[in-house]
A = this chain, B = another copy of it.
Amino acid sequence: MSPLLAAAGGPLGEILLSLVVILLAAKVGGELSVRAGLPTVLGELVMGILLGNLALTGWHGLEFLKHQPVLAVLAEIGVILLLFEVGVESTVPQMLRVGPVALLVAVVGVVVPTGLGLVVAKLFFPNESFYAHLFIGTVLCATSVGITARVLKEIRKSDSAEAKIIVGAAVIDDILGMILLATVTGMILAAGRGSTLSVVGVAWIAGKAVLFLVGAIVVGLWLAPRMYAVATRLRSGGWLLPLSLAFCFALSFLAELAGLAALVGAFTAGLILEDVQFRDLATKEEYELHDLLHPVIGFFLPIFFVLMGLRVDARAFAQTEILLFAGILTAVAIVGKHACGVVVWGGRADRWAVGLGMIPRGEVGLVFAGVGTTLVLGNRAVVTPAVFSACVIMVVLTTFVTPPLLKWRFGRLESR
């Protein structure tokens, strides 16, 4: 501990200082991103990488940030809230309405990058277990539609046929990604307990994930409107946020209990909740759920992004093998998602534009990679620090290239 922190008398002082540093670093990173025309998450991540590698200059004053256990929990709460919000933005009816084209795009966009990622990981790290390879593939399957949606809005293409396919596919993608994450996590946990996994065993874990999702959705769709209806009739105000958060945390807890990742539960909770269920309560309390969630997420989420950046060892950038791996992983991530475009038929939508729109991994890719660093198999993290650094590079690059590529493609389409 630095002498400064020792003087501040232990953990509370340490956490307060961490929060000041992280809140300001995240906002400064965001500002730099905006000025460079990039998504803010990139700036937050890069600030984290800078802060985390200050020790390379010989100054170790902020090293404590990496090992602050409470900060790690706050970051986990941040991710749970993020996945909850991602889920809230999609609804079950919307999911069921997704067209066959978007469905096919989503399936291809999960299968191809995951398969390619697995193969690349196997080539580079032949001594790691199959699970480690599969997990790296899983990291590649996530689509972060937020980045694409913002670009499409900016160039006024939110209503295009391409946008509709991309957004529909992204919803299904999130769900498939969650099932895949849950299955792979379950397999690794089972392998860690020494169970050998038969095909039946894997099918059971995948089945459990699907069952959890379907079961939670069925029970949740019954429960949620009733829960909000009761809250609307109560005399005390301010139920909207705590009730919704309790619902999110309860499903996250149940997901952990079922041996899935907490994120899967949080996402499912968000998927279940939709505006019509709490319309009356929101009207009564004169607050929208979005406006209430926004500051809470704004507090917790930057902690996650900065912490993810902190975990990147910049020395990895000097290792040819890691850089090469990161480069090929990025190429595979781009090519794999871009393959989605091939299955767009009918000719109304541009194949290239759809394929490009599916490329960014953004926060969801980071979240998956982060989960991998916490899974341990044979005393080794499934995602090692070096691989994690490569994943972050992949996330940064895929997020970085998408906006200009999308603008270029739509520009070409217009000039035809």
A interface with B by C-beta (< 8 Å): 4, 7-9, 11-13, 15-17, 19-20, 23-24, 26-27, 30-31, 33-35, 40, 69-70, 73, 76-77, 80, 234-236, 238-239, 241-243, 245-246, 249-250, 252-253, 256-257, 259, 262, 291-293, 295-296, 298-299, 302
Expressed in whole angstroms, the minimum distance between the Cβ of A297 and any Cβ of chain B is 10
* B residues less than 8 Å from A30 (CB atoms): 236, 238
Tell me the minimal C-beta distance from A405 to chain B in angstroms: 23
A12:B299 contact, CB within 8 angstroms: no
- With beta carbons under 8 angstroms apart, the residue of B70, B259, B295, B299 that contacts A70 is B70
Q: How far is the CA of A243 from the CA of B259 in the complex (A)?
A: 39
Cβ-defined partner of A19 (8 Å) among B26, B241, B246: B246
The CA of A17 and the CA of B242, in the complex, are separated in Å by 14
Q: What's the nearest-Cβ distance from chain B to residue A172, in Å?
A: 27
Give 6 A-B contacts (CB < 8 Å), ordered by A residue: A11-B73, A16-B252, A20-B246, A27-B236, A27-B243, A295-B296
Indicate which residue in B11, B23, B242, B253 contacts A23 across the interface (CB closer than 8 Å): B242
Q: Is the CB of B236 within 8 A of A17?
A: no
Number of copies of this kind of chain in the complex:
2
B11 touches A295 (CB 8 A): no
Q: Is the interface of A mostly helix, strand, loop or mixed?
A: helix
B257 and A13 contact, CB distance less than 8 A: yes
- Do A242 and B8 form a contact, CB below 8 Å, given A19-B249, A253-B16? no
Which of B8, B26, B33, B296 sits near A257, CB closer than 8 Å?
A: B8
Complex Cα gap A334–B35 (Å): 58
Query: A30 CA to B231 CA in the complex, in Å?
Result: 12
Chain B residues with CB under 8 Å of A238's CB are 27, 30, 298
Bound CA span A73–B15, Å: 9
CB pair A250 B20 closer than 8 Å: yes
- A234 pairs with B8, CB closer than 8 A: no
Complex formed: what's the CA distance from A34 to B242 in Å?
Answer: 17
Which residue of chain B lies nearest to A295 when distances are taken between CB atoms in the complex? Answer: B292
| Also in contact, A12 and B262, with CB within 8 A (given A4-B257, A27-B239) | yes
**With A19-B246, A296-B296 as given contacts, are A256 and B12 in contact (CB-CB < 8 Å)?**
yes
